[in-house]
A and B are shown apart, each in its own frame.
Chain A
Amino acid sequence: MSKLEVRQIHLSFGNIHVLNGISFTVHDGEFVSLLGPSGSGKSTLFSIIGGIRRPDRGSIWLNGKNITGKTGLISYTPQTPSLMPWRTIIDNVLLGQEIQGYRDEKAALAMIDRAGLKGYENSYPHELSGGMKQRVAFIRSLLSPQSIICLDEPFSALDELTRMDMQNWLLSIWSEHQISVLFVTHNIEEALFLSDRILVLSEKPARITAEFHVPFPRPRKEMLYLTDEFIHIKREIYHVLRGQLVKHS
């Protein structure tokens, strides 16, 4: 069981009000996306959830326990793969476990195999392509002991085709593990394709302006992108995002 609750988070940097009372819940095994324009404080919100920055007001709860300002309880995947160039792939994916004081090489090898990276265990990151590196970073998160994963725009640096492959791959892995995922993106289609629920963030000071339940059954296939229903919801979300941009300018 893992349930993440974000309650009324407020944060300002000097005179700049960044987060304006953000509240939401990620239920056990749920895939939730935070969708918002660039610079809406999404990464800042992640650092608060991850416990390395304290909010001015508000709290973070995991399974009914207040974890505000506590680290080591959330598995985080940064925007760039952030692999250690001096570690082999197997050592890189085991980093999260090592920090907690153990190494499960068998599970790691199985996961590397499952990700289509068999034979690369002892390679170094610079020998891998961008998509492969992102997979390694994601395996590292999955192998970490934490049961909730925060992904910060993990596919934003990839080309369109690789991105689609990675989305499919992410979904297949996620369906096997049923872990809770909090996914940050500025791409509407990506959020729709992947999530159970989408929370729309406004520009600074960020707050949640809309919530969409994504009705598509799983497993989802790429053909989903072309269905009328998909395009219909996409348009709706687009108008919400667009609307708040117009209001501000």
Chain B
Amino acid sequence: MRENIIKVWKSVLVFLIIFLIWEVSVRVFEIPEWFLPGPVQIFREAVLSFPVYADHIVPTVILSLIGLAIGTFIGVMTAIFLYRIPKLKEIVYPLLIVSQNIPTIVLAPLLVIWFGFGMLPKLIVITLVCFFPITISLLNGFLQTDQELKHYMLMAGASSRQIFWKLEWPSALPSLFSGLKIAATYSVLGAVISEWLGAKRGIGVFMTLSSSAFQTDRVFISIFIIVFVSLLLFFVIQLLEHLVIHWQHIEDGKPNE
């Protein structure tokens, strides 16, 4: 616990130093505000314009959460199907990999053409970026099942369903959570990108409005909000992980024998 506090303080210190250098450089080199505002200016603007962007935060958070939920559900289902039906995996797995080489930004305009400017295309974008890390890590977790335990269960007469729910699913949970952490960060990113394409409110909207008005300080505020929301989601999932995978606490994250 004490080590953790020291670690956190070290990171905070690094950030403070970076901000300090940033502020001093902006002042010494007299960089124009529209080009690069200093942290003090950004902070001042963040306080002053709070009523302006406050309305934009909640829609993005809600969008990310719904997208993450759908993405997680689809990701988990895909992993289960692919694992339980190896023939399916042979066919679908390469397709999955290829699909991930299509950047989301390229797909987004297409989705707008097909589905308009409502919730649906946005949720599809987020789902697309979220499900992949979850499917891959969960699949990996399934494949790392302890073979000797599987042997034991088979000989004891366990059905494949029992083996799945009593052995393979719980042993893949740590992997599922590593996938979830990545997906959570992606979901916020996906939400912002999808908002760029067209939305009434949201951090993505606030960001495009600010950037087209050369209000660079507000663009920075958007970035900080995105980072903050992503981090918050990440920690919520880490907390969940701690509650669900209670058997690994003392092992300190090391896999059990």
Interface residues of A (CB under 8 A from B): 47, 50-52, 71-80, 82, 84-86, 95-96, 98-100, 124-127, 144, 146
Contacts and interface: CB of A to CB of B under 8 A. Distances in A.
Q: How large is the interface on B (under 10, 10 to 19, 20 to 34, 35 or more residues)?
A: 20 to 34
B151 A52 contact: yes
Interface of B: 146, 148-149, 151-158, 162, 166-167, 170-171, 173, 245, 247-248, 250-251, 256-257
Contact of B156 (A85, A124, A127, A144): A144
6 contacts: A47-B151, A72-B157, A79-B148, A85-B248, A95-B153, A146-B156
* Main secondary structure on B side of the interface with A: helix
* Main secondary structure on A side of the interface with B: loop
B149 A50 contact: no
A80 B146 CA distance: 11
Given A50-B154, A71-B155, A96-B156, A84 B148 contact: no
Contacts of B167: 84
Nearest to B153: A99
The CB with the most chain A CB atoms within 10 A, among B171, B248, B257, is that of B257
Contact of A82 (B152, B157, B166): B152
Contacts of B171: 84, 86
Sorted nearest first, the 10 A-B pairs with minimum C-beta distance are A72-B157, A50-B155, A85-B256, A76-B155, A99-B158, A82-B148, A82-B149, A78-B148, A71-B157, A52-B154
A126 B166 contact: no
A95 B157 contact: no
A188 B257 CA distance: 28
Given A99-B166, A126-B250, 7 more contacts: A72-B156, A72-B158, A73-B157, A78-B152, A80-B257, A98-B162, A126-B247
